[in-house]
Amino acid sequence: MNVKRWVALVVAGVLLLFSLGINTIFALFKADFLGNFDSLMAGNSLDVYENVIEGENFDKRIAYLKVDGTIQDIGSSTLWQPVAYDHQFFLEQLDNILYDETIQGVVLSVNSPGGGVKESADIYKKLLRIKEERQIPIYVSMDSMAASGGYYISAPADKIFAHRDTITGSIGVIMQSINYQELAEKVGVKFETFKSGEHKDMLSPMREVTAEERAMMQDMINETYEEFVDIVEQGRNMSEAEVKKVADGRILGGTKALEAGLIDEIGDEEATIAALREDYGLEDAALFEYSYDMGGWQSYVGMKIGSMFGPSAEEKMLMKIMTDYSAPKMMYLYGEY
């Protein structure tokens, strides 16, 4: 047998041993006593944890929740691509509160410029259900910003606290699209569109919006805006006229928001928690927060596997470009859009 055949046999043997080793490791991770490897690789939490912040009474507890970032459902965190705000996980937290009889109050910290109309409504409806079915208080602590959708989800609270320099308000709806028809013509780009109806390509970046379409879009925006105003009316016990005095999209600092009736007190998170404890006799109640954590060695191994076999930075960027849905949509959002 010549040298080349020996080399080929050795290489084949090494590859076979390597393959068997990898398959064995994966099989071990998939075993029940070592946890669910598929879930780990997908980035799904293996469990939901409760971290106690303070307090000793576990029969009467206060749930601490936090909305930090733009309120959008862009997927859950994974080992390879964490997200700032995990919409589905936040909704799961609200579901847990709905069915946990030991929870006697909720403190919701909001630091958000708002976000999607649908996602904001998801949160609002669940908070309202908690109030109606559980009959427990919900206090909101506004951080540096609780604007537009951030205010929308705060409105049903029993009491709202904000800093003097909190940016809030921005009650309204926005929807934007880009028209680069003239630019495309200058560089020689031409779009061919085939459509089933006159308005199928409404808000296309390659043509002007017609007067009829502009009226259609404005009607839709106005309807959603009136829903926002109704939410504030009901949550703050204000008249429509009172709400619309400040519901023109303007932002307000904490002091002006207090004068307008949009918040109840100037105070920080600590003051919010203290007020809830005192108002409802929950002085010794355990304050806790939810978290998802794959825990210990599983998290470590998952990160190692992610770094070894996960996509590169370039691949991550390409995945983001391919999965982002860029069609215009209505937003309860303040700031750059």
> Are 320 and 168 spatial neighbours (Cβ–Cβ below 8 Å)?
no
Residue carrying the six token digits 């002091």 = 255
> CA 87 to CA 115: how far, in whole Å?
11
Distant-in-sequence contacts of 314-321, Cβ < 8 A, 24+ apart = 316/80, 316/81, 319/81
> Are 37 and 29 spatial neighbours (Cβ–Cβ below 8 Å)?
yes
**Dihedral Cα 14, 20, 21, 26, nearest 10 deg:** 150
The continuous run of DSSP H or E covering 47 comes out as: none
Residue carrying the six token digits 């949509």 = 329
Annotated catalytic residue within 45, 109, 141, 148: 148
Q: Is 200 a catalytic residue?
A: yes
> Are 150 and 114 spatial neighbours (Cβ–Cβ below 8 Å)?
yes
Tokens of 26: 């994966």
> CA 54 to CA 61: how far, in whole Å?
10
Annotated catalytic residue within 30, 195, 200, 320: 200
Identify which of 45, 126, 124, 121 has the alpha carbon closest to the alpha carbon of residue 86.
45
Residue 162, C-beta contacts closer than 8 angstroms, at least 6 positions apart: 141, 142, 146, 168, 254, 257, 258, 263, 265, 266, 267
Tokens of 111: 């630091």
- 328 - beta bridge partners? none
159-162 and 138-147 strand pairing: parallel
Identify which of 286, 254, 230 has the alpha carbon closest to the alpha carbon of residue 141.
254
Q: Is 320 a catalytic residue?
A: no
Catalytic residue annotation: 148, 200
